[in-house]
Chain A
Amino acid sequence: MGEHGIGTREEWQAARDELAKLEAEHADRNEKIKEKRRALPWVRVEKEYEFDTEDGKKTLAELFDGRSQLLAYTIMFGPDYTKGACPGCTSLGDGLDGSLVHLNHRDVTLLCFSRAPIERLTAYKERMGWEFPYVSTYNTEFPFDFELALTEEQAQHIPEIKEMVEDPPDWLVEWSHQIGAELKDGLREGPTWIAFAREDETVYHTYTVGAPDPFVAPYFSFLLDCTPKPQPEEPRTFRKDEYPD
């Protein structure tokens, strides 16, 4: 179970106090980053997009649902995925409903995007028991304009992706089976958070963040960061209804 000694309560407390200083320093650093994040320039979204939602076609402005902020996670679930979304993204999705009502009361609409057609997203949402709105970007330029997905041509020109497709580690081969798509297609989706603001009728893009930011990891990874056992480098992830017993 990793490198650790057995100690007395006093020894633990002394080490814990030292660690608390570093944790506080970390929190202060995060405060400064948050300020800088809010200082990023907003970029006006000029193009008109139309998305398939559970309630019919909607524009980007309409996705705000009357609120002034939109925060969206892109779940890796491309049109080529025959067995459902990426299991890791799915576990992240499992954690969102707990925040949904709280954010909605802070002027934030929280939703997820994927590129698969809406019927498949709706069926998957039902299977997972999710509440948040799930919006399809199928047949729109939106995911490519905002770097939430790669075109086939783009993917072929990224050395890291080429390497993963040609010589995938075992976990990635398994992942490809879990989503039911070839890696060359599966890896074109980018697990990404994107934020927009709406003022009057104008929509602005304000922020995008992707892996390896911990914000793109399932919520339980924060809890595992507090546990004594080190986690495997590339742990297998499962959808909650597919865990082997």
Chain B
Amino acid sequence: MGVMAEHRVGTREEYDAAREELLKEEKELTRRGDDLARKRRELPWVPVEKEYTFDTSEGTKTLADLFEGRSQLLVYHFMFGPPYEAGCPVCSSIADTLDPQVVHLKDRDTTLLLASRAPLKKLLAFRERMGWGIDWVSSNGSDFNRDLGFLHTEDELKPFLEGEIPPTVEQNARMCGTDAGGYVSEGPGLSVYALSDGTVYRTYVTTARGLEPAMAYYGLLDRTPKGRDESATAPLWVRRHDEYV
């Protein structure tokens, strides 16, 4: 156990004093987090003019249909492109946390679902393997992902693919049964919509670092003595929940 991060052992009084100081900063962070949520709500709403259609287990649906009678819609853009044989492992770990939230969000007038570009049949088979109940729709055949910036063309990816490919990308691509180019053509993201008087508005979109809170295990690790304890060079440790050895 010599791997434990450097730490000092102290008395309860020493801990309490240091904790008190830290608590002030944590409270300030909480206050700022509340400010950010308020600022997100002040963003202008953009009417979604284009008609997007989705393949769902209940047939073809429009974006407005996906609200299922509620006034807010959260879409997690799960990296699962048409050539993938299985969903992205990191997106899978995110879905592990999203799945049990669906029932609670419904009560807050909010529908949460997953969207990917792979054909619906592939998505549903993978969902069954993972044991999730969350709705998953295929945006295959519409510009939904592209218009949000979550689908990249070969041209756009060229500079990235010509550079040194990060080991995590290589690893995840292999785990998805595709190559680096195929893997990163899909982008992860969260997009948020409001439905008001029959019009759908896009209100918020986030990706990359903005998705970190969606990885609930990171939030938990951040409160443990070792923290995330990740290496800058080794590929990411995250696996699909049925693939850890």
Any A CB within 8 A of the CB of B68: no
In Å, the complex CA distance between A20 and B19 comes to: 30
Q: Which of B137-145, B156-164, B171-179, B237-245 contacts A (4 or more CB under 8 A)?
A: B237-245
Beyond A33-B29, A99-B220, A102-B96, whether A5 also contacts B45 by CB under 8 A is yes
Beyond A19-B43, A106-B237, A228-B72, whether A1 also contacts B194 by CB under 8 A is yes
- Residues in A whose Cβ lies below 8 Å from that of B219: 215
**Contacts between chains A and B (CB distance < 8 A), count:** 260
Beyond A218-B104, A226-B74, whether A199 also contacts B206 by CB under 8 A is no
A33 touches B26 (CB 8 A): yes
- Residues in A whose Cβ lies below 8 Å from that of B27: 212-213
Digitize A1-40: 1 where CB-to-B-CB distance is under 8 Å, 0 elsewhere. Answer: 1111111110110011001101110110110111011111
Any B CB within 8 A of the CB of A159: no
In Å, the complex CA distance between A201 and B62 comes to: 59
B239 touches A105 (CB 8 A): yes
Interface size bucket, A side? 35 or more
Q: How far is the CB of B131 from chain A (nearest CB, A)?
A: 11
Any B CB within 8 A of the CB of A197: yes
- Residues in A whose Cβ lies below 8 Å from that of B229: 106-107
Q: Considering only CB atoms and an 8 Å cut-off, how many residues of chain B contact the other chain?
A: 85
Q: How far is the CB of B76 from chain A (nearest CB, A)?
A: 9
Beyond A16-B205, A204-B9, whether A103 also contacts B220 by CB under 8 A is yes
Any B CB within 8 A of the CB of A82: no
In Å, the complex CA distance between A105 and B109 comes to: 35
Digitize A166-206: 1 where CB-to-B-CB distance is under 8 Å, 0 elsewhere. Answer: 00000000000000000000000000010111111000111
A41 touches B97 (CB 8 A): no
In Å, the complex CA distance between A108 and B220 comes to: 10
A225 touches B217 (CB 8 A): no
Question: Which chain B residues numbered 207 to 221 have a C-beta less than 8 Å away from chain A?
Answer: 209-210, 212-214, 216-217, 219-221
A26 touches B227 (CB 8 A): no
User: Chain A: which residue is nearest B221 at the CB level?
Assistant: A106
In Å, the complex CA distance between A33 and B21 comes to: 11
Any B CB within 8 A of the CB of A98: yes
A98 touches B4 (CB 8 A): no
- Residues in A whose Cβ lies below 8 Å from that of B196: 1
B1 touches A4 (CB 8 A): no
| Most chain B CB atoms below 10 A, which of A97, A106, A193, A243 | A106
- Residues in B whose Cβ lies below 8 Å from that of A105: 237, 239, 244
Question: Which residue in B15, B26, B44, B108 is a CB contact (below 8 Å) of A41?
Answer: B15
Beyond A98-B216, A102-B93, A102-B241, whether A243 also contacts B223 by CB under 8 A is no
In Å, the complex CA distance between A91 and B100 comes to: 9
A102 touches B238 (CB 8 A): yes
Any A CB within 8 A of the CB of B12: yes
Q: How far is the CB of A26 from chain B (nearest CB, A)?
A: 6
B36 touches A225 (CB 8 A): yes
Any A CB within 8 A of the CB of B47: yes
In Å, the complex CA distance between A206 and B226 comes to: 10
User: Chain B: which residue is nearest A22 at the CB level?
Assistant: B36
- Residues in A whose Cβ lies below 8 Å from that of B104: 91, 94, 218, 220, 240
Interface residues of B (CB under 8 A from A): 1, 4-5, 7-12, 14-15, 18-19, 21-22, 25-27, 29-30, 32-33, 35-37, 39-47, 71-72, 74, 93, 96-101, 103-110, 112, 190, 192, 194, 196, 201-206, 209-210, 212-214, 216-217, 219-227, 229, 237-239, 241, 244
A selection of 27 A-B contacts at a CB cut-off of 8 Å is A1-B71, A4-B41, A8-B46, A12-B43, A16-B204, A16-B205, A19-B43, A22-B36, A26-B29, A30-B29, A33-B26, A34-B222, A37-B22, A38-B5, A42-B7, A43-B14, A43-B15, A69-B224, A97-B96, A99-B216, A99-B220, A102-B238, A223-B101, A224-B110, A226-B40, A227-B192, A228-B204
- Given A9-B46, A40-B22, A228-B41, 19 further pairs, Cβ under 8 A: A4-B42, A6-B46, A27-B209, A29-B32, A33-B25, A43-B10, A95-B97, A98-B97, A99-B97, A99-B216, A102-B93, A108-B221, A197-B7, A198-B1, A209-B223, A213-B30, A220-B104, A225-B37, A226-B204
